[in-house]
Structure 1
Amino acid sequence: MGIPGFEPSFLVGIDMVRQAHGARLAALVGRRLTGFALARFAEDGDPYADCPVVLDFEGVQVEICHWKFDELSIGWDTISTSAAITGWEESGLTPEWSHRDERLEPFVGRKLRDVALLERRPEPARRDLAAATVTVEFVFGATSLRIANGMDENSIETGAAPPEYVRHRPVR
């Protein structure tokens, strides 16, 4: 992806994600979201949803990236969003970090009240490619922010979680 410092470690399944990152996610509770970064294309401002969503909680940076239909990488303090995203010169596209997004801006300055890992479990009779994917949910008071698997890219969701999600505490 051309992101300096980004070395994803993709995991599959709620148990693997919880074991690897549950304690650190839980430790974010009580911190304020002080910033964020998303990659966008300079040419048209469209999001480049394959790149990680970077959230800063008072100096602790969490970097969330979904890949394929079921893989999730969570990184910690590895990406410098002041560094250029490189390697795209031949494509004619220029991804760059943006610190503006109407979905994320309302959460900046708010204290994180809870964090959870959500596992998608659709109705048994319904075929769903997203079944068993893991979403990271950040709860700020009465509303929440989720970084979900958007079928091989990151999807940012806000508000109440859909009923097909099963909520898991990040630490057992």
Structure 2
Amino acid sequence: MWEAEHDEWFADCPVVLDFAGERLEVNHQKFDDLSITWNSVDVTRPPVWSTSDDFRLVWRDDAPAVLAALRGQRLEAVELLEWAGGDLADGSVAVGLRFPDGWLTLYNALDENGLAFGQLEPEYRRHRLG
């Protein structure tokens, strides 16, 4: 989801990743809520946001650029990650996706989604899926 007027990512809405027509949707909210769904967000329809008068929201598949650079890469692993950094975020859960060029981590950025690219931070406990 993109906030068009300021040309920036809108972190309060789900992150939608398309894998050859199968969409993974990840959304963090509050301090400890994580929603992971498949194919439930219709990105062909205009976004609806409760305060949409304040924002002009659109779906974009080319931003942020670092995320768009993953297009076409093979997903190699999926892991649930638990933060154990000895701080207020201890116990929060993130989703880690490993691609040939590194990790995409979707984490709770205190009531919104956060994205991190590259190597996993050592404070994460890894729980591999499948």
TM over 0.5: yes
Matched residue, 1:158: 117
Give the Cα–Cα distance (whole angstroms) in 2 for the partners of residues 68 and 106 of structure 1: 29
Matched residue, 1:131: 90
Task: Kindly provide the amino acid, as one letter, of the partner of residue 46 in structure 2.
Answer: A
**Shift in Å at residue 48 of structure 1?**
1.1
The Cα offsets for residues 86-123 of structure 1, whole Å up to 9 and x where unpaired, read as 35676332111111221201211000111111100114
- 1:63 corresponds to 2:25: yes
Q: How does 1:10-89 map to 2 (within 5 A)?
A: 39-86=1-48
Q: Secondary structure of the equivalent of 2:41?
A: coil
Give the Cα–Cα distance (whole angstroms) in 1 for the partners of residues 88 and 49 of structure 2: 31
Matched residue, 1:7: none
Give the Cα–Cα distance (whole angstroms) in 2 for the partners of residues 134 and 90 of structure 1: 28
Give the Cα–Cα distance (whole angstroms) in 1 for the partners of residues 51 and 107 of structure 2: 29
Task: Kindly provide the amino acid, as one letter, of the partner of residue 79 in structure 2.
Answer: A
Q: What's the C-alpha RMSD, in Å, of the aligned pairs?
A: 1.6
Q: Which runs of 5 or more residues in structure 2 are unaligned?
A: none
Higher strand share: 2
Higher helix share: 1
Q: Is the 8 A contact 1:147 1:157 kept in 2?
A: yes
Count of aligned positions: 129
Of 46, 50, 57, which residue of structure 2 is paired with 1:95? 57
Q: Is the 8 A contact 1:54 1:61 kept in 2?
A: yes
Give the Cα–Cα distance (whole angstroms) in 2 for the partners of residues 90 and 72 of structure 1: 23
The Cα offsets for residues 46-99 of structure 1, whole Å up to 9 and x where unpaired, read as 211010000111222110000111110011101111101135676332111111
Give the Cα–Cα distance (whole angstroms) in 1 for the partners of residues 127 and 80 of structure 2: 5
Structure 1, 73-82 or 92-101: larger mean CA deviation: 92-101
Give the Cα–Cα distance (whole angstroms) in 1 for the partners of residues 129 and 21 of structure 2: 20
Task: Kindly provide the amino acid, as one letter, of the partner of residue 109 in structure 1.
Answer: G
Give the Cα–Cα distance (whole angstroms) in 1 for the partners of residues 49 and 90 of structure 2: 34
Q: Give % identity.
A: 36
The Cα offsets for residues 130-157 of structure 1, whole Å up to 9 and x where unpaired, read as 1111111111125111111111110111
Give the Cα–Cα distance (whole angstroms) in 2 for the partners of residues 67 and 114 of structure 1: 24
- 1:122 corresponds to 2:85: yes
Q: Which runs of 5 or more residues in structure 1 are unaligned?
A: 1-38
